[in-house]
């Protein structure tokens, strides 16, 4: 077991994030796993990106907007 020093402000913010059934250790474990999960998820699009992902997303966005405009008319 280790001790981690944090300022009172940080401790207050952590307390606000902590669930009723969690210890601070549980909270930090949950938050650190979420960060790792986000990092892992961030790379998943690379297998689909052929260098034109942004362009394709913009085109899809425009098509969706046009489709919605037609439905509203």
pLDDT of the chain, 73 residues: tens digit per residue: 889 999 999 999 999 999 999 999 999 988 887 655 655 666 666 666 777 878 888 888 998 888 888 887 7
Cα 58–chain centre separation: 21
**Distance separating alpha carbons of residues 10 and 20, to the nearest angstrom:** 18
**Distance separating alpha carbons of residues 56 and 50, to the nearest angstrom:** 10
**Distance separating alpha carbons of residues 1 and 25, to the nearest angstrom:** 10
Closest CA to 14 of 28, 29, 35: 28
Enter the pTM of the model: 0.46
């Amino acid at each position: 077991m280790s001790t981690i020093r944090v300022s009172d402000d940080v401790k207050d913010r952590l307390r606000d994030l902590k669930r009723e059934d969690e210890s601070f250790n549980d909270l930090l474990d949950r938050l650190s796993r979420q960060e790792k999960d986000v990092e892992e998820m961030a790379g998943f699009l690379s297998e689909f990106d052929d260098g034109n992902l942004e362009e394709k997303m913009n085109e899809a966005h425009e098509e969706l907007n046009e489709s919605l405009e037609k439905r509203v008319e």
